[in-house]
Structure 1
Amino acid sequence: MWVSKTRRAFRVSGRRRSSAFLELYGRAPCADTSAAQPSSSPAVADTDSALVACRALLQRIDAHLYIRPDQAPVTECIEALSSIERVVASSPARRSVAARGLWKDALALQARVPVSEVGAAADAATVLFLAGQPQRGCAVCRRVTGHQQFRGSLATEAALCECLRLLSVHVMCAGAAREQLSAEWWGFVGNMVDVARGVIAGADKAQRAPMARAMEVVAWSLDWLHHHHHHHGDSRSGETLAALRPRLPQWLPHLFAAFDAAVAAGSTSPSSLAVLPPRWVLAMAEHAAEDGDVAALERLLHHAMGREERCRANALFQLSARVADLLVRRFPRHPSAAHAVATFGTALECASLQPFGTTQEGFEAALAVLTHMSGPQPYAALQALLRHHPAETAAAVQERHGDVLTGSPGLSWRTALAAATQRIAAADPHWRECLPETLRLLSDAGTLTPFWRLLAEYNPADCGAPLSIAASLSRAMQRSGRWWHAVEVLDLLASAAAPRDATEDLQTSTACAETMRALLQARRWEDALHMFQLVGTVLPRSEAPVVSRLLTAMPAGAPWQVALASSENAGLVSATTRQTLLCLHADAPVSRLSREQLRKAAAATFAAHGRWDLVRAAVALHPTEVPLWRALVQALGRCADVVDDAVATATFAVPLPPGCWEDSSFVDAFARLCVQRGWLSLLSAHLTAVLASSRAPAAPLRRLCSEYEHLVCFLRTGRPPPADVVLHESYVVHHFVACVTRKRVSVVARLAGARATSKRHASAILRVPYESLGALRSGGDGSTTVRVTASPAVAAYPVEHCVFSAAGGHLLVGYKVPAAELFACARGMLRVLGNDGAYGLAYHMSAASSGLFLLLPASASLTWYSITLRVRLFVAVMVPEMPHVPLLATSFFRRYAMRWRGGGDGGGGDRHEVEADVVAENGQEVRHAWRSLKMHMNAEGWGPVELEAGAGDTYHIVELRVARRAPVARGGDDTVAEVKVFTSARSAQRPLSTDDADAVEWEL
């Protein structure tokens, strides 16, 4: 029992006692216990030399006290305190799990050291201050300075230097703890400063350096305290500090002075920086970060590191870590950022490691740092980092490093799920108590199948923790896309009590932010806006990106001004987002946005809304910026405007800036846009100019241009490329096979590397039917070659199924019977008509469907047309047992101008026959028309009926309306001409089956 008392008195963890020592004294640890409780010290403890040495010292002291608990080794305790101070002040592992409890050891060790050891007290107080325990640090300083033996211990210059260091730490602790220092203490400080000045004045130049540096640290700590009091509106110590200023070193300028950027700009030399207060150096770094001056940040970081190397006490300000934090946060892709992360490790803020970890080269480094920490902040940063990676990565990280929130390396979703399963098997009535933690680990790892199964077992009366459940549900919802669980998240938040600690604060903000992300990911900005209006006040500023995403996703007719005002009041919107919204919705000029704002955010937002006029204005301001040209291509790909060849030629004048053709992603996107928009002449002109330029393009670019030249020729004439041409671009291959021609088209495709391991894999890459692929052939360079052939035509396509053929073949309408493949019917119609051109299907139809289909020349663009389909189908409630909206009261019934044709099939009236008008003002939207109709029906509990199980969606396109749209300027009215209407009544075929009764039912 006396051993346990000793342990409690000394407060040193028993886990540090070596196994060999315990075996020597007959107290070897139980094997089962060690297996069940793995060491909480991660691998970083074995790689950081300072931390390893510190742990060795603590083990040695622990062993000594095990034998003689009443005789503490003073020398080793002092050495251990110094070692702990070096770890906490300068080690990359200073905030790791392994170093998390060192401040407790330092507090216990300091109690074993005599008061005369002022340096040991300064080390202990420094450790407590840097570990976030300033109140305890103040207590240590007061206990030492108030002791009777303290003044008698200041007989030597070394002891006086340590005393000054102790005073500096006391000042910093008092500022952080917001404690008032007594008048007696201020008098003592003045006396010590006078004594130190006398020593400096009487010492040789070589011997005065340590005392002078200690005086500098005292003066800078007082300057830091003055700024802290001024920042918090406390001016009571101002007069005392002003009276003390003449007694402080006169070679230190700007003490207690407000930061002046103009003065600081002239203090860039090493000698000038050496005498500036740390507060000024930090302010200079903040200004350099705001101005984007990475060279200045590097210079200031080098100076801060040198200052801390020359004088150990300067580590009290953590200046180098603060400057490195600014560098990593502001310039995450700069090479210096990677060096700073490797040098400072856990000393950096988690919010700075997050943007660094989003870079391709920084993910592993940021992951290594965050997984060696524990608590809400590193947990939040880690989850934000893993949000951009697949669930497999999140699960692997969790199984390798354990749970970062609790700091338990042996805790993962597997162990938690196994423990819950054991309790269930043991018929434990309280097994649901482990549900919150198990669900959190499952959602963190992206293991959603058991998550949804266990979530059904949640009962607030049995396990509580609604905030934890809400955060887990929101993360699972975001990963799975099940946005409809947002209401459940709101219910959990409404039923929870107010957050009590940092972990519950994090869970609340996570639940709100992840739910908004899931809603925005599903393009439900109205629901996300409603969520923000309810819970926007609890979102921290770190979640400003999701609020900006909401604001920039709102269309022009939405209440974006009210949402913007609410976001600004909460400090959740940046100046870039605000100005972007004004340009997007309030016709503010694009020139108000800087080049950097356009590159990073604004241009992408304009492109997402299809505002190519705004992006074109940005390109005119910065014509050499390739990202802006890329955004212009994206905007034109998303806009509904009809842009003719003349406007396109003026926008993408030949030649484009040289940097554009050096960017393969831009070349590919621009070529696809020209094909989509029908700008084949423009594309041909650019390809010719690039291939004929004096500056020869790289081999991959030349090959890409050549392949698109073959595609342009095919779209215009219908002639496939020569038999010896091998295509590498998957989009080009897909386009050759997807176009409808009278003759079967066959091309050879080569897939680089190990991209195609099977025919099904190759089918997914090329987006062609599996049956269209020949045998795979492996090349010597690791590539795979395969022949791709278009689907065959139907054996006999009746002439009466050719509903319409315009003069010149610019518009073809055919009829598809049930159970026939659409592509085969289209090819059969071209064979019947003897048409040798290349055509594209305006929309796709399932095999079970029937009705009219539309063919347009492959050289044309669907954006030139407005298409309306009248579709006849059967609808029914998907789950009759669940509540649903009555058919005539649904929003989709009104949205699609439905007409009820009848109900019941003679067996109870469980389905209804309706007609719907599917309108695609922009012809490109018609490709997704049927999917949109199904989504709107499913949202209210309804869906189309499959007449045969597994046959696919069954519907009949009764009428097709095609209108040619004229080019218009943005903001004008569309001019519609050449309206053509086609109906399936012109065909004698049955729409859904060959049964005469069905034909009568459809009134043909």
Structure 2
Amino acid sequence: MWVSKARRALCLSVFWRSSAFFELYGRAHSTEVAEVPPSPQLSSHAAPTDEAWKRCQALLQRVQSRMYIHPGQAPAELCREALTSIEHLLASSPTRRCTAARRLWRDALALQSYLPAHDISAAADTASVLLFSDQAQRGCRVCSQAVGHPQFRQGPRSDTELSGYLRLLSVHSMCACYSHESFSPDWWTALVDSVDEAKRVIAAAPKPRRAPMAHALEVLAWSLDWLHHHNDMPERQALGALKAKLPQWLPFLFDEFDATTAKLSSQSLALLPPRWLLMMTTHPEGDSDAVALERLLRHALGREKRCHGSNVFQLSSRIADILVHRFPHHPSAAHAVATLGTALQCSSVHSYGTTREGFDKALGVLTRMSGAQPYFATQALLHHRSAETAARIQEEHGDLLTGNPHLNWRTALNFTMKQVEAADPHWRVYLPETLRLLSDAGKLKQFWSLLQEYNAVDATANISVAASLSRAMQLSARWWHAMEVMDLLVSAPPPRDAIEDQLVTTACAGTLRVLLQAKRWQEALRVFLMVGDAFPPTESAVVSRLLTSMPMYAPWQMALAAATQRGLTSDTTRIILLCLHAGASAALLPHAHQQKASALIFAQHGRWDLVRTVVEQRPIDVSLWRTLVQAMEHCADDVNEQTAAIVFPVPLPHDCWHDTSFGNAFAHLCVQRGWLSLLSSHLSCLLAPPASSVTPMSRLGVEYGHLLRFLQSNHFPPAEFVFTDSYVVHQLMSCVTGRRVSVVAKLPAASGSTKQQASTYLRVPYEILSVPRGEGDGTATVRVTSAPTSTYLKEHCIFIAASGLVVGYKVPASALFTSARGLLRVLGNNGVYRLAYHMSVASSGLFLLYPASASLTWYSFKLRVRLCVAVMPAAPYVPLLATSFFDRYAMRWRSGEGDRHEVEAVLLATSGQEVRHAWRSLKVDLNAEGWGPVEPDAGAGDMYHILELQVSRHAPTIEGNAMLADVEVFTCHGRSLKPLGADDGEAAEWDL
């Protein structure tokens, strides 16, 4: 991708620092009126197959045929019938906003142009069609022209005409409500006269004949009531003065909504104004609200079915939107989506699509539509789905944004390539659309290839390309392209329409998500502070995720203030931040959903004290106990076994041991932290009769018992005992002993068909497995035997401590596990040990063994490592000496030139649990700025050499803190340690 370097240098340092950047983005929509086609046009899109659509299409076909035979002429009756058919279709069909219906409002205008100007019913139908098609301003124009006609001012000549007058005034009121248009003096005169005449006709007519006129008057009164409360027009006071003239049998007209009165009147919904019915849906959430909303929806659907004019309020779709959005899992949500379909808001359909049973149904609704809203709702729905699913949807339904059913990534790519082959000098103008379709379909290989050809200096399509790049980043986890997205947005002209406005939001929110997913909170904070104005309130979730993922030392107060200023925070988020950083109590979160959401965030920060407070409020909630285990796993502080025994008392709530996921997670935590006595106590309680006969964990308890005896006493499990838990098998094989360990494992058939599958399932090397053997119960068994020892010399033993720590030396091109076993064999040590950290085959240097029954919790480590670093291909990079990791890891440059250098780095692990992740953290920081360690051969791993190992032991104090007890430094300087065999001759050589 070609980018202006001068623009890049200026944009991020100056332009984006100001929140006024987006104030330059004009939000005014175009007011140009599109030309009306001279005759109705049949849609080229696949139309729905219900009877209403078939009738409408047939009538439009007849009109088109008659006009083809007699150009410029059309029978008035046929045009009026077709217009009425369109109005009925858009008022009631669940496909009223599908792609095929997008141009029906144009057809309605064309049909009306062939009817007399004084045809009030045609004007009302046309305005109603425009209202249902989100063209309220045009609807006002049609109504105003009809009201201003001389024949309208003469008044109705029959009851039928009077009903048409009332309906026209009702539709005009609703159009004015949404377009904020004012009324002419003729309208006010016609309104008063029509109401008086309607009341006179109703009073004079026999009771059976009053209903049609009464319904028309009711709809008009309700539309005026709706207009009065949903529009701040200057005539609002004049509307309120009409209350005395309106029917007295209609209660609450122009009255402020009162929840208590509405509750008392809820048994009789027939006479309540639609405005009140809509306001009744805004109660606080609760279990009974879904039932109440379902009742209101049934009433609205019934009212619209009985009285056609009531459709003008679109009350059923409005109530259904609230029901589906608030209760997507409720059975009535499925019924609402099936009944109303495309009449619902795309955001509500998306909410329903997030449910397990609603995904396919929601996609069925969204893919029948086209435009910005269905496009972005579909993209959000496909965000957590596979790229294959996204590509299939696009290939089946085409491009929803443009509404072209034949446009997808394949056709766009083929067309672009044909332009290249034809030597079209302007072929790059098609790149933005092609890149968007490729990223939407998850075709990343083609996307990254074509992106190199995009000229960002042109800038006319940078917003679209930025959104596409953001989407591709999320799919590929290439978060280091984040600044390129920002550069594209800064260099682009202001958004020209609502679509580009939404693309800006998509690009910014997607960039923030991919940075948070990669745990790059610093970069994410910079992005938010630069483009925070582009985040609407609907994206508050990703902003809250940023705020709650920041560590203690981060400027969380500044970030919170910036988010609050933009209206992107909630009270729950603020309380969580105060708990994390300001010492507030988790008891400030009284509601169950707040407690569960906050507990997960506390756990991510390792704040088990806060999670424990939540658990104490809901002690029988097993999910919170699982979260407490997760918090302990993420806790970087030293927690001794005595404290753990208080947090997880014996016995735990009975329901905990009925949850296998909790039992496994708790056992894993105890093994990792070295709380073997605590785990043994819980297992004794679990296996005590009669609990062992009913607890699902009883079988796992036996297996963990064998693991504990092996770790604590070096008692090997029985040779023929069959293990079913993959974690237990993995732990047995991860231990280093002088003798070989061999166990039998049972696996599901799907994970044990081949050795490769079994290796993946058990997380053990492929070479130590036997050939899986199928069993009659649909499972497979395999024998797992620890790897043999490698040749090892006693001089490679660096140190043996009284506490059980053993420091050895690994030569290049040897496996760490076999080297460690060889070391114990040479020393004649029969103990059970663990490796403090892992090393690749290509690496060399010092490694550390510690007793399996102990824990590294009270240790900290410093490793001095020599490594070769090189620039990553196809990625932006920072010059080596200018990188942040160069200072962070106290690096020293040794040698090298160009894009390949040899350096020394210092890796720190303040907790023994972190040392195994120290090398990975270094790699992540290297990758963040375009660098990475060198891998000499495929599969050999990174090449590095651990020169020095510093081990610091801490002792717990009475207050529970840690005090430095002693420090030991191990080094391999002065040793002539060479590869042991001829096979190691190709290993990397270091200047030691």
User: TM-score by structure 1 length?
Assistant: 0.88
Does the 8 Å CA contact 1:850/1:991 hold for their aligned counterparts?
A: no
Q: Which amino acid aligns with 1:250?
A: Q
- Report the alpha carbon displacement of residue 912 of structure 1 after superposing the two structures with TM: 6.0
Report what 2:516 is aligned to.
520
Q: Partner of 1:862 in structure 2? A: 856
1:872 is matched with 866
Provide closer, same or farther for how the CA distance between residues 347 and 948 of structure 1 changes in structure 2, counting only shifts above 3 A.
closer
Structure 1 counterpart of 2:620, from 600, 617, 624 = 624
Aligned to 2:187: 185
- The aligned counterpart of 1:954 is 943
Q: How has the CA–CA distance of structure 1 residues 13 and 215 changed in structure 2, closer, same or farther, with 3 Å as cutoff?
A: same
Q: Which residue of 1 aligns with 2:814?
A: 820
Query: Structure 2: how far apart are the matches of 1:498 and 1:911?
Result: 42
Q: 1:342 to 1:362 in 2, by over 3 A?
A: same
CA distance 1:52–1:680, shift in 2 (3 Å): farther
* Closer/same/farther in 2, CA of residues 652 and 579 from structure 1, 3 Å limit: same
2:366 — aligned with what? 370
Structure 1: distance between partners of 2:164 and 2:705:
79
Residue in 2 aligned with 1:349?
Answer: 345
Deviations 1:304-350 (A, max 9, x none): 22222232222211112111111221222222222222222222222
- CA 1:955 to 1:54, structure 2 compared with 1: closer, same or farther past 3 Å? same
Look up the equivalent residue of 2:889 and give its one-letter code. Y
Instruction: Specify the alignment match of 2:168 in structure 1.
Output: 166
From 247, 261, 264, the counterpart of 2:262: 264
1:964 and 2:953 are equivalent in the alignment: yes
Amino acid at match of 2:176: A
Among 839, 852, 868, the alignment partner of 2:833 is 839
Per-residue Cα deviation, 1:790-823 (whole angstroms, up to 9, x for no partner): 22222x433343334444x743322222222111
Match of 1:13 in 2: 41
> Structure 2 vs 1, CA of residues 686 and 156 (structure 1 numbering), >3 Å: closer, same or farther?
farther
Does 2:830 align with 1:802? no
Mapped partners of 1:884, 1:527: distance in 2: 15
User: How far is the alpha carbon of 1:361 from its aligned partner?
Assistant: 2.0
Q: Is the 8 A contact 1:467 1:492 kept in 2?
A: yes
Deviation at 1:781, TM superposition (A): 4.8
Q: Deviations over 1:723-763 (max 9, x none)?
A: 44433333233222222233322333333353455432332
Aligned to 2:970, the other structure's residue is in SS state strand
Alpha-carbon spacing, 1:636–1:246, altered in 2? closer, same or farther (3 Å): same
Alignment partner, residue 685 of structure 2: 689
Stretch deviating more after TM superposition (811-820 or 984-993): 984-993
Give the aligned partner of residue 94 of structure 2: 92
Aligned twin of 1:64: 66
> 1:765 & 1:225 partners in 2: Cα distance?
64
Given candidates 917, 925, 947, the residue that maps to 1:928 is: 917
**Cα contact 2:860–2:953 (8 A) shared by 1:** yes
Stretches of structure 2 that go unaligned for 5 or more consecutive residues are: 1-34
Q: Select between 814-823 and 699-708 the one with higher mean Cα deviation.
A: 699-708
**For 1:982, which of 965, 970, 975 is the aligned residue?**
970
C-alpha distance in 1 between matches for 2:301 and 2:874 = 70
Please list the CA deviations of residues 436-481 of structure 1 after superposition, one character each: whole Å capped at 9, or x if unmatched. 1001111111111111111111124668311111111121122222
C-alpha contact 2:456 2:488 (8 A) present in aligned 1: no
- 2:114 maps to amino acid: R
Distance 1:627 1:1000, change over 3 A: closer
Q: Is 1:144–2:146 an aligned residue pair?
A: yes
State yes or no: 1:556 paired with 2:545. no
Residues of 2 paired with 1:693 and 1:243: CA distance? 81
In the TM superposition, residue 143 of structure 1 has moved relative to its aligned partner by: 3.0
- The aligned length equals 956
Provide the residue aligned with 1:532 in structure 2. Answer: 528
Q: List per-residue Cα deviations over 1:612-663 (Å, max 9, x = no partner).
A: 1111111112223333222222111111122222222221223333443444
Is 1:647 aligned to residue 649 of structure 2? no
Partner of 2:29: none
Decide whether the 8 Å contact of 2:480 with 2:928 is kept in 1.
no
What is the deviation of 1:698? 7.0
- Over residues 204-242 of structure 1, what are the superposed CA-to-partner deviations in whole Å (9 max), with x where a residue is unaligned? 44433333222221111111111122xx4x3x3233222
CA distance 1:76–1:909, shift in 2 (3 Å)? closer
- The structural deviation recorded for 1:984 is 2.8
Q: Does 1:895 align with 2:888?
A: yes
Shift of the 937–484 alpha-carbon distance from structure 1 to 2, 3 Å rule, reads closer
- Give a deviation string over 1:13-35, Cα, whole Å, max 9, x none: 255xxxxxxxxxxxxxxxxxxxx
CA 1:957–1:290: 2 relative to 1, 3 Å: same
Q: Which residue of 2 aligns with 1:41?
A: 46
Are the equivalent residues in 1 in contact too, given 2:463–2:503 (CA < 8 A)? yes
Counterpart of 1:28?
none
Report the AA paired with residue 496 of structure 2. Answer: R
The letter for the 1-side match of 2:820 is A
Whether the 8 Å CA contact 1:607–1:635 is kept in 2: the answer is yes
Match of 2:299 in 1: 303
- State the match for 2:310 in structure 1: 314
| Preserved CA contact (<8 Å) 2:673 2:857 | yes
- Relative distance call for 1:941 and 1:10 in structure 2 (3 A) is closer
Q: Root-mean-square deviation (CA), in Å?
A: 3.2
- How much does 1:918 deviate? 1.5
**Deviation by residue 1:397-428 (Cα, 9 ceiling, x = unmatched):** 11111111111111111100000111111111
Question: Is the CA contact (8 Å cut-off) linking 1:690 and 1:697 kept in structure 2?
Answer: no
Pair 339,735 (structure 1): closer, same or farther in 2 beyond 3 Å: farther
- In structure 2, how many angstroms separate the alpha carbons of the residues matched to 1:216 and 1:153? 20
Residues 856 and 264 (structure 1), Cα distance of their counterparts in 2 relative to 1, 3 Å cut: farther
What corresponds to 2:590 in structure 1? 594
Contact kept in structure 2, 1:687 and 1:705, CA below 8 Å: yes
1:742-787 Cα shifts (integer Å, max 9, x gaps): 3322333333353455432332232221212221333445444333
Q: Does the 8 Å contact 1:991/1:999 carry over to 2?
A: no
Name the aligned partner's letter for residue 263 of structure 1.
Answer: T
- Cα distance in 1, alignment partners of residues 176 and 989 from structure 2: 92
Letter of the 2:58 counterpart = A
Task: Give the Cα separation in 2 of the matches to 1:617 and 1:207.
Answer: 69
Q: The residue matched to 1:491 in structure 2 has which SS? A: helix
Helix, strand or coil at the partner of 1:98: helix
CA shift for structure 1 position 938: 4.6
- Per-residue CA deviations over 1:877-905 (Å, capped at 9, x if unaligned) read 67899985354x654343223455x546x
Distance 1:712 1:920 in 2: 27
- Check conservation: 1:959, 1:984, Cα contact below 8 A: yes
| 1-structure distance, mates of 2:714, 2:77 | 91
Q: Secondary structure, in 3 states, of the residue corresponding to 2:782?
A: strand
The question of 1:730 aligning with 2:726 is answered: yes
Aligned partners of 2:625, 2:493: CA distance in 1, in Å? Answer: 51
SS in 2 for 1:923: coil
Secondary structure of the residue that 1:962 maps to in structure 2?
strand
Once residues 724 and 206 of structure 2 are traced to their aligned partners in structure 1, the CA distance between those partners, rounded to angstroms, is 78
| Structure 1 residues 16-35: aligned runs within 5 Å | none
The alpha-carbon distance between structure 1 residues 49 and 556, as it changes in their structure 2 partners (threshold 3 A), is: farther
When residues 158 and 934 of structure 1 are mapped into structure 2, their CA distance, relative to the original with a 3 A threshold, is: same
Letter in 1 for 2:798: V
Summarize deviations over 1:584-627 as a string: whole Å, max 9, x none.
11222212223244345322221111111111111112223333
Quote the Cα distance in structure 2 between the aligned partners of 1:694 and 1:274.
Answer: 62
The superposition leaves residues 916-970 of structure 1 with CA deviations (integer Å, 9 ceiling, x where unpaired) of 3211111122112122223434545555456778754333323322233445799
Q: What one-letter code is carried by the residue in structure 1 that aligns with 2:915?
A: V
Q: Which amino acid aligns with 2:327?
A: F
* Maintained 8 Å contact 1:433/1:463: no
Give the C-alpha shift of residue 291 in structure 1.
8.9
Mapped to 1, the partners of 2:38 and 2:285 lie a distance apart of: 45
**Is 1:585 the equivalent of 2:581?**
yes
CA contact (8 A) 1:864 1:964 kept: yes
SS at 1:405 equivalent:
coil
| Rounded Cα–Cα distance in structure 1 between residues aligned with 2:551 and 2:72 | 75
With over 3 angstroms needed to count, the CA separation of the structure-2 counterparts of 1:646 and 1:537, relative to structure 1, is same
Sort the Cα spacing of 1:70 and 1:882 in 2 relative to 1 into closer, same or farther, 3 A.
closer
Three-state SS of the structure 1 residue aligned to 2:181 is coil
Show structure 1 runs of 5+ residues with no match: 1-6, 16-38
Letter in 1 for 2:188: W
1:169 Cα deviation from its structure 2 partner: 0.7
